[in-house]
Structure 1
Amino acid sequence: MALRAFAVAARTDSLSAAAEELGVTHGAVSKQVRSLEDWLGQQVFMREGRGLALTPYGKVLAEQLGRSFQNIDAACQYVRRHRSKSVLAVEAPSTFAMYFLMPRLKRFENKYPGSTIWISTRMTGQAPDASSSDLIITRGDADRVGARLKGSTALFEESLTPVCSEESLRRRPVKKPPDILKHPLITSATRPGNWEAWLHEAGIRDYVFEGGHRFDHMFVAVHAVREGLGSIVAPKEFFPGQGQWKLRCPLPGLVVKGEKYFAHPTSRADPRYVDRFVDWLEEEIRK
């Protein structure tokens, strides 16, 4: 209260005007200012004729307080403007967030204009953070989330197939499985054995991996595909056709099954918003 009284008095150059604005007595404002000066060990006002003037220390304090109160007011106004919006905090694996959620998120916001989605990403091997999330999406189980979960919804099982850039496919078309060997095969440390499983399914059993690009995480490896460095086996659910990433699955009917994805509401979640988002996810998966 003392800082507020001082800030108003500094702006109006008058204890009486400050008292009127704050709806208190002149004496109450004067007492608050004296209390502030006692605590600071410095005078913030000095008499100048019949009015008040700020001391050098008072000017510094008034300037900083003015900025602080403006920032607080701006924050309050922001929250008030968005009081009709529902915010859902979603944590998801990095590749899922980047290649499945983000390209579709605008459709959700258009369908539910009063909703806002906050997305945080999780690297492979990193434990989910249920304390700051309303919904956690996992690839595989989520045993480490523990008691904070309120139930799980199975979203889909990965259909793993080669993914290539459209530019590389123009240069080296893939019409049948052996054609994929014209492309350098990119691997990811977090998805070991994907290429071997797919090549075996395709009837290509004698291919020997020698050299080639290898990356620590799938989303980094997919970016390398976008740059034209080669092709990778990835979930075709992330690349349903020509899109903003200019990536395509040349043999979409030839797949091997990967991990399942699950959506887990946490104990802090509002069921109305979580259920709506999960229902929308399931709609997107069926498309």
Structure 2
Amino acid sequence: MKERELPLVALRAFAVAARSDNLSAAAEELGVTHGAVSKQVRSLEDWLGQQVFTREGRGLALTPYGKVLAERLSQSFRDIDAACQYVRRHRSKAVLAVEAPSTFAMYFLMPRLKRFETRYPNVAVWISTRMTGQTPDVSSNDLLITRGNTDRVGSHSKGTTALFEENLTPVCSTELLKKRPVRKPADILKHPLITSATRPGHWEAWLQEAGIRDYLFEGGHRFDHMFVAMHAVREGFGSIVAPREFFPGQAQWKLRCPLPGLAVRGETYFANPTLRADPRHVDRFVDWLKEEMKR
């Protein structure tokens, strides 16, 4: 059923009548006549093909169908009211809709976002995530963060800004490192090596850089997406090659880069403002991202 087919005026009249003592009280609340409310209720019953009220003396009682409808409408109108109140409360706050790859959003953006909101309290950042292979949603977002090729954004962007190039290095859970420390490159082979289908060849490239030749991959854990594989790393299933930039300094997420100086280059991340974006807020956010990379 399409929204335009819903008798919204009649549904609102019924919802008020259902929680009122009688139609006169409902009419007073709605600012209309008793007859107008009665007419709306009758039209709703005709549309539904069911009675929603029965007469009990001078008053009205809800039928079983009327009770179900009243409960659902009451919750729906509360949800609508809450949504409207939320928007009204934030009418002085701009919204910046940002779409980013899932792993970037989880491990780079989210841990740092409070710093942006503290600096710019009048801007609310709404984040949506994109899986590898998905087409960027240019119509619903102000800024698209992409990794590697930006062809999918194409002419929908106002301009592209390079943010940083990945430095790929092993990432391990702190618990796993306590059990099996990594002090030199060969020590990483004591860990099960976790791989992701969306980032093939990372381990091979790093092992080559580390001077470890002819390592045979067998067994271990392989996942379809990087952010799922990262959960396995956090649970101590093994180690993975991931961007060093996601795990600076402290053991964030209880994860650590045991050999941060030994890394191979990955792909570049780009910021792509869409045609609908307000350049003031996008420029602030992009400049802030660049600052975060320098920390």
TM-score exceeds 0.5: yes
Q: State the distance in 1 between where 2:199 and 2:47 align.
A: 62
Deviations 1:45-68 (A, max 9, x none): 6473xx432363785355554444
Corresponding residue to 1:201 among 177, 196, 209: 209
Corresponding residue to 2:59 among 26, 34, 52: 52
1:66-215 matched pairs, under 5 angstroms: 66-204=74-212, 206-215=213-222
Corresponding residue to 2:279 among 259, 271, 282: 271
Deviations 1:174-217 (A, max 9, x none): 3333333343433333222222322332333x332241424233
TM-score by length of 2: 0.81
Contact 2:168 2:266 in 1 (8 A): yes
Distance 1:9-1:125 versus aligned 2 partners, 3 A rule = closer
Contact 1:156 1:261 in 2 (8 A): yes
Q: State the distance in 2 between where 1:112 and 1:83 align.
A: 15
Distance 1:181-1:28 versus aligned 2 partners, 3 A rule = closer
Structure label with greater radius of gyration: 1
Q: State the distance in 1 between where 2:108 and 2:195 align.
A: 20
| Farther-moved stretch of structure 1 (218-227 vs 251-260) | 218-227
Contact 2:92 2:122 in 1 (8 A): yes
Q: What runs of 5+ residues in structure 2 fail to find an aligned partner?
A: 1-8
SS in 2 for 1:130: coil
TM-score by length of 1: 0.83
Q: CA deviation at 1:255?
A: 1.9
Q: Which amino acid aligns with 2:135?
A: A
| Farther-moved stretch of structure 1 (119-128 vs 106-115) | 106-115
What RMSD in Å do the two structures reach over aligned CA positions? 2.9
Distance 1:19-1:58 versus aligned 2 partners, 3 A rule = farther
SS in 2 for 1:137: strand
Q: CA deviation at 1:158?
A: 0.7
SS in 2 for 1:144: coil
Distance 1:44-1:182 versus aligned 2 partners, 3 A rule = closer
Q: State the distance in 2 between where 1:86 and 1:177 align.
A: 48
Q: How many residues align?
A: 284
Contact 2:233 2:240 in 1 (8 A): yes
Q: State the distance in 2 between where 1:167 and 1:66 align.
A: 50
Contact 2:192 2:238 in 1 (8 A): yes
Q: State the distance in 1 between where 2:128 and 2:106 align.
A: 10
Distance 1:71-1:199 versus aligned 2 partners, 3 A rule = closer
Q: State the distance in 1 between where 2:32 and 2:103 align.
A: 58
Distance 1:24-1:256 versus aligned 2 partners, 3 A rule = same
Q: CA deviation at 1:37?
A: 5.0
Q: State the distance in 1 between where 2:13 and 2:87 align.
A: 25
User: Identical aligned pairs, as a percentage?
Assistant: 74
Corresponding residue to 1:280 among 272, 275, 288: 288
Contact 1:189 1:214 in 2 (8 A): no
Contact 1:183 1:231 in 2 (8 A): yes
Corresponding residue to 1:21 among 29, 49, 53: 29
Q: CA deviation at 1:26?
A: 4.4
Q: Which amino acid aligns with 2:109?
A: L
Contact 1:45 1:58 in 2 (8 A): no
Distance 1:236-1:80 versus aligned 2 partners, 3 A rule = same
Q: State the distance in 2 between where 1:40 and 1:220 align.
A: 47
Runs of 4+ in 1 over 6 A off after TM superposition: none
Distance 1:178-1:85 versus aligned 2 partners, 3 A rule = same
Distance 1:45-1:65 versus aligned 2 partners, 3 A rule = farther
